[in-house]
Structure 1
Amino acid sequence: MQALPTATLTAPPEHSAAEGVAAGGPADNDRSRVVWWMWALTGALFSTYLLLSLLLHEHLRTSSFDLAIFEQVVRSYAEGHLPVSEVRGPDFPVLGDHFSPILALIAPLYWLWASPKVLLAVQAALIAVSVLPLTLWARRALGSPPAAVIGISYGISWGIASAVGYDFHEVPFAVPLVMCSLTALANDRLRQAAYWALPLLLVKEDLGLTVAAIGVLIARRGDRRLGITTAAIGLGGTLLEVLVILPSFNPAGGYGRLQWLGVGGSTGGPGDLLYRFTIGLITPETKITTLVFLLAPTLFLALRSSLMWVALPTLLWRFASTYPEPWGTGYHYSLALMPIVFAAFVDALVRRHSSRGTVRRYVAACAAISLLLLPQFPLWWLTQPGTWWTDPRIAVAHRLMDRIPDDVTVQVSNSLVPQLANRTSVSLYGWPASRPNPQWIMVDTWARPYRLQVNGMQMSESSLDDLRRRGYRTVTEQDGYVLLSRSG
C-alpha cells in the first residue's frame, strides 16, 4: 500500500460537510476533489482484494456454491439468453432463485475473457471504488489524515475481508451504490441519494427494503414527496420480485428463500415467527457477537447516526432466518453493511461537531480495532506462508481436467467446479439436483465430504464402484483424483 500523507491532524470545520461545499471558498473546492492518495488507496485495496481472490482460486479454494453459479449466470448473459445455472440444476433459471439482473453488466467483459477471474476482478473493483465517496466526504468534513485512516479501516474491515475471501456474489454491486447514496443523504443531497439507491432493486430482491429505509430517511430530512416515493418504489419492488417475478421463473413455484424465515415450511407457525422476530433476533449468542463486531470499529458511535437505520432490514432478515450461516461473521453476508456502518461513523463525527482531539481518538480507535480483528478474517491469509505455497496436487488436478473436452456435461468435486464452468456444462458431484448421467466425472477422493443442504436437499455421493457398475470407465487416476468417462 502506498504511503499516505503524514501531515498533522487539522481541526474539523465548525459547519457540516454540506455547508462547507456550499461556502464555495478555495479550500472547500480543493476538498471537494478526489486527490492522489485516494486513488492510491483505491488501487492498493483493489490489488489486495484481487490478489487474495486469485490465490484462493488458483489453489482450488473456490467452490461451486457460489463462484461457479455466478459464472454460469454471466456466461448465459454473454451468450445472449436468460441466466441458467447447471450447478443449481439442469438448465435451472437463476431468476427463480435470486433477482440480480445487474450481473448482465459483466457480460461484455466476459466476451473479452471467458474466465471466473473476470468476476473476481469485478468484485475487487466494485468494493475498492466504494472507498472514494467515503474518503472524499471525510476529507471535506474532517481533514485528510482522518479521512485516510477511516478509508484504510473501512478497506480492511472484517465484513469486506470475509466477502473477498469467499468466492463471488452479486452483493458487491450494492457496496458503491449504498456508499454513494448514504454520503449524498448525509450531505442533504436528497435527490442524488434516491438516484443512487434505486438501482439496488436490480442487485438482489431483499435490497428493495434497503431502498425503502433510505426513502424514509429522505422524507425525515425534509423532502417528504421524494422520500415517500423512494420508499414505495423500494418496498413495491421487493414485493414484485418476491411474489411475482421469482415465482414465475422458479420451476417449483414460489420463492424458496422464504423457507429461511419459516414461511411455507414446517417451522412457519405464528408462534415460531413471533419468537424469531423477538427474542430470536438476539439468540443464539452468535447474533450478539455479530452485532458487537459490526459496531466495535466505530466504538458504537455509529449508533448516534440515523444512517444506521438503513442496516435494519438486512439485520432483521439475517437474524430471523432459520438458516444459521447468515447469523455469524463469515461469508459475504455482512458486506453490504460495512458502507452503512462507516458512513454512519463519519456522519456521527461530523454532526457532533467533534473537536480535533475527539476526532483523533475515535479515528485512532477505529484503526486499532480494525487491525485487531484483521487476523481473524481472510485478508490476514496474505501474511501466511502457506498461502503462497502451491500444493503439487493442484498441477495434477489441472492436468486431468485438461483431458475433459469442451462443451460436454460433467460432474466434479466441489473445488473443481469453478475451474470448468467457463467451457463445460458442469455440475456438482453428489448434488441431487445435478444433471444425471454426465459424460465425464472427476472426483477428489482425498477431499473431505462436502457438506451442503439447500431447500431440504443434501449431498449424497455415489461410490466409484457404483459409477463403474453404471457404465463409467476409469480414464486415469493420480494423487487421489479419479477421472471417469461414460462408456458408449
Structure 2
Amino acid sequence: MTGETIVARAGVGAGASPWRILSGHRVRVGAIALLAAVAYAVLGLVRLGTFRATSFDLVILDQAVRNYASLRPPHVPVLGMFHGRGMDYLQLADHFSPVYALLAPLYWIHDGPASLIVAQAVLFAAAIPFLWRFTRRVLGVVPAYLVSVAYALSWPIAQAAAFDAHEVMFVPLLTAIMIERYHAGRVRAAFLAMLVLLLVKEDMGLMVIGAGLCLIVIGDRLRGLITVTFGLGTVLLVRGLLVSAFGGDPKDFWAYGHLGPDVPGAILAMLRDPVAAVLLPFGEEAKVDTLFLLVWPTLLLCLLSPLSLMALPHVLERMLSDRAQWWQSDFQYSAFTVIILFCAGVDGLARLLRRIRRPDDASLKLAWSAAALAIAITLVPRFALDQLYHPAFYREPKAAAAAEAVAKVPAGVTVEAANSLGPALTGKATVLLWTGQSHGSPWVVADVARVEFPFGSPADQLAKVAELRLRGYVTVFERDGYVVLRRG
C-alpha cells in the first residue's frame, strides 16, 4: 500500500508526510497493545499474588522453562508424579511444546512463574499490530482500530490470561503473522510462522491442515496441497512417534472413545452414521454456547470467509471429544482460534460487500467494526476482564495465612502442595501436587478449607491430613485452613 493511499484512508490532507502518518499509527497501535498487555499481566499477576493460580498448569510450565533456562531437559516432576511416571518425566511427553525453550532467557532475568504470566500477556498483545495491518489493508484505518480493540477485549484472550499460562500464548501472534504476511504477499514470512506454530503443541498440525484447505479454496492450490500434506505428516509424526519417544503415551489425549479406540475406528464410526457425526458438535448446551460465542463477535461474518477453515480442525477437535472441559468457554482453548476468526470476520465483510456490489462502502465497514467492538464490550462483564474493575478481585482474606504457610517450607526441598499453593513454592522448592496418594515428600502444604484439585471435597482433604499425621507427619503451621506438615 502506498503512502498516498494511507493518507487518503486516514483522512489527512495530501500535504501531510506519509512517514508522519505511519509513525502516528505505530504509536497508537503500540499504545493499544501496551494497554492490553498491562491488563492481561495484571489479571494474571493478581491471581498469582492472591493464591488463585494453580500448580496445574502454572507449575508444570514453570518447571519446564526453569530446566530449559538451566540447560537441562524439561523435566516436570509435578506432572510425572501425578501420572505415576517419575520425577524425570519430560514436558515433551505430555504436550509437544518445544517452543517453551524460547522463554528460558526470561528466567535469567527473573526466575519464577511471574515471568511466564508477563510473557503470555505480551505475546497475546503482540498480535494486535498484525491484526491492525490486515484490517487496515482490507477495510481501512478506522475499522482497523476498532477491530484491534475488540480483539484486545475479546473473551477468549481474557479467559486464557486469567488461567495461569499455557502454550496458547504463542498462537494468536503466530496465526496473525501467517494471515497478515500472506495477505501482504510475504509468503516466506507466513510459512516461517507456520513452522514455528508446529512447535507449539502436538495438534497444531491440524491448524496447518486447515490453513492448507483455505489456500486451496482461494486458488493457491499447489501451496495448499503442500501445506495440507505437511500438516498431516506433522500430526502423524508427533503423535505417532515423538510423544512416545519422549516417554509419553499417545492415548493420554485420546478423547474420542465414544467414537472408537483409535483414529481409523473413529473415522469409520462417523462414516457409518454421518448424521450423528454432523450433530455431535451441537449435542450439548455447552458446545452450542461456545460455538456461538466464537462466531458472534464478528456478527457471524467469519463464516463467509475461507479463513475460517484454518480454525475448523481445532474447533472440531474440541467439540467431537468426550471431555467436557474442552467444550467450555471458561478455559484457554478458544484463544487458539480467536485471531483467525477476527481476520475471517474482516475478510467475510469484504466478501459480502463485493457480493452486494458495494466494496467501497465506508459506512458499512465502519458500522460492522463498531458493532464488533460493541459486542466485545458487552461480553466483558461475563468473562475474566470484568474482575479488573472490582476492588474485591485485588483482595484475598486468606492471603496472609497462605503466605505464612508457604514461608514455613525451606528452600531446596521437595514439597507436596495444594493446587493453589504450588505456584508460590515452585521458585524455591520442587513442587508435587498434593493428592490422595502420598509420595512421601518431607514437606506437605495442605488446604482443608476449600476444595482443591484433585480432591472431591474438603472432608477428603481433612481425612488425608489426619492420615498423614498418623503416618508420623508433624504439624508445623495451621491457620485459616492451611496446614503445613513435616515428615517426622
* Secondary structure of the structure 1 residue equivalent to 2:78: coil
Pair 1:205–1:283, CA change in 2 (3 A): same
Q: Which residue of 2 aligns with 1:22?
A: none
Q: Which of the numbers 192, 197, 200 marks the counterpart of 1:200?
A: 197
1:452 shift after superposition:
6.6
Q: Which residue of 2 aligns with 1:172?
A: 169
**In 2, are the aligned partners of 1:12 and 1:355 still within 8 Å (CA)?**
no
Q: Which residue of 1 aligns with 2:335?
A: 335
Q: Which of the numbers 376, 385, 398 marks the counterpart of 1:379?
A: 385
Q: Give the Cα–Cα distance (whole angstroms) in 1 for the partners of residues 158 and 468 of structure 2.
A: 40
Q: Which residue of 1 aligns with 2:479?
A: 478
Q: Which residue of 1 aligns with 2:412?
A: 407
1:140 shift after superposition:
3.4
Q: Give the Cα–Cα distance (whole angstroms) in 1 for the partners of residues 289 and 428 of structure 2.
A: 42
Q: Which residue of 2 aligns with 1:84?
A: 75
- Mapping of 1:123-272 within 5 angstroms? 123-250=120-247, 253-260=249-256, 262=258, 264=261, 271=269
Q: Which residue of 1 aligns with 2:441?
A: 438
Q: Which residue of 2 aligns with 1:35?
A: 26
Pair 1:234–1:30, CA change in 2 (3 A): farther
* Secondary structure of the structure 2 residue equivalent to 1:357: helix
| Structure 1 stretch displaced more, 268-277 or 363-372 | 268-277
* Secondary structure of the structure 2 residue equivalent to 1:446: coil
Q: Give the Cα–Cα distance (whole angstroms) in 2 for the partners of residues 244 and 205 of structure 1.
A: 11
Q: Give the Cα–Cα distance (whole angstroms) in 2 for the partners of residues 261 and 314 of structure 1.
A: 18
Q: Give the Cα–Cα distance (whole angstroms) in 2 for the partners of residues 482 and 318 of structure 1.
A: 38
Q: Which residue of 2 aligns with 1:18?
A: none
Alignment pair present for 1:464 and 2:465: yes
1:202 shift after superposition:
0.2
Q: Which residue of 2 aligns with 1:316?
A: 316
* Secondary structure of the structure 2 residue equivalent to 1:278: helix
Amino acid at match of 2:377: L
Amino acid at match of 1:224: R
- CA deviations over 1:59-104 (Å, ceiling 9, x no partner): 1111111111111111121222221212212322221111000001
Q: Which of the numbers 362, 365, 370 marks the counterpart of 1:356?
A: 362
**In 1, are the aligned partners of 2:50 and 2:394 still within 8 Å (CA)?**
no
Amino acid at match of 1:332: Q
**In 1, are the aligned partners of 2:408 and 2:477 still within 8 Å (CA)?**
no
- CA deviations over 1:410-451 (Å, ceiling 9, x no partner): 11111001111122111111154xx71001001111122434
1:379 shift after superposition:
0.5
**In 2, are the aligned partners of 1:186 and 1:347 still within 8 Å (CA)?**
no
1:58 shift after superposition:
0.7
**In 1, are the aligned partners of 2:476 and 2:485 still within 8 Å (CA)?**
yes
Q: Which segments of 5 or more consecutive residues in structure 1 lack a partner in the other structure?
A: 1-9, 14-24, 454-458
1:280 shift after superposition:
1.3
Q: Give the Cα–Cα distance (whole angstroms) in 2 for the partners of residues 224 and 32 of structure 1.
A: 37
Amino acid at match of 1:395: A
- Mapping of 1:413-432 within 5 angstroms? 413-430=418-435, 432=437
Pair 1:408–1:428, CA change in 2 (3 A): same
What fraction of aligned residue pairs are identical, expressed as a percent?
A: 33
Q: Give the Cα–Cα distance (whole angstroms) in 2 for the partners of residues 256 and 183 of structure 1.
A: 35
Q: Which segments of 5 or more consecutive residues in structure 2 lack a partner in the other structure?
A: 1-6, 11-15, 354-358
* Secondary structure of the structure 1 residue equivalent to 2:30: helix
| Structure 1 stretch displaced more, 84-93 or 357-366 | 84-93
Q: Which residue of 2 aligns with 1:5?
A: none
* Secondary structure of the structure 1 residue equivalent to 2:420: helix
- CA deviations over 1:380-422 (Å, ceiling 9, x no partner): 100112112242x212221221121112111111100111112
Q: Which residue of 2 aligns with 1:20?
A: none
Whichever structure has more helix as a proportion of its residues is: 2
1:30 shift after superposition:
5.5
**How many residues in Structure 1 have an aligned counterpart in Structure 2?**
457
| Structure 1 stretch displaced more, 346-355 or 196-205 | 346-355
Query: What is the RMSD computed on CA atoms of the aligned residues?
Result: 2.7
* Secondary structure of the structure 1 residue equivalent to 2:307: helix
Amino acid at match of 2:34: G
1:277 shift after superposition:
3.5
Amino acid at match of 2:404: R
- Mapping of 1:287-302 within 5 angstroms? 287-302=287-302
* Secondary structure of the structure 1 residue equivalent to 2:431: strand
1:47 shift after superposition:
0.5
**In 2, are the aligned partners of 1:212 and 1:230 still within 8 Å (CA)?**
yes
Q: Which residue of 2 aligns with 1:19?
A: none
| Structure 1 stretch displaced more, 304-313 or 399-408 | 399-408
**In 2, are the aligned partners of 1:59 and 1:390 still within 8 Å (CA)?**
yes
Pair 1:12–1:34, CA change in 2 (3 A): closer
Amino acid at match of 1:378: A
TM-score by length of 1: 0.87
1:285 shift after superposition:
2.1
Q: Give the Cα–Cα distance (whole angstroms) in 2 for the partners of residues 452 and 36 of structure 1.
A: 49
TM-score by length of 2: 0.87
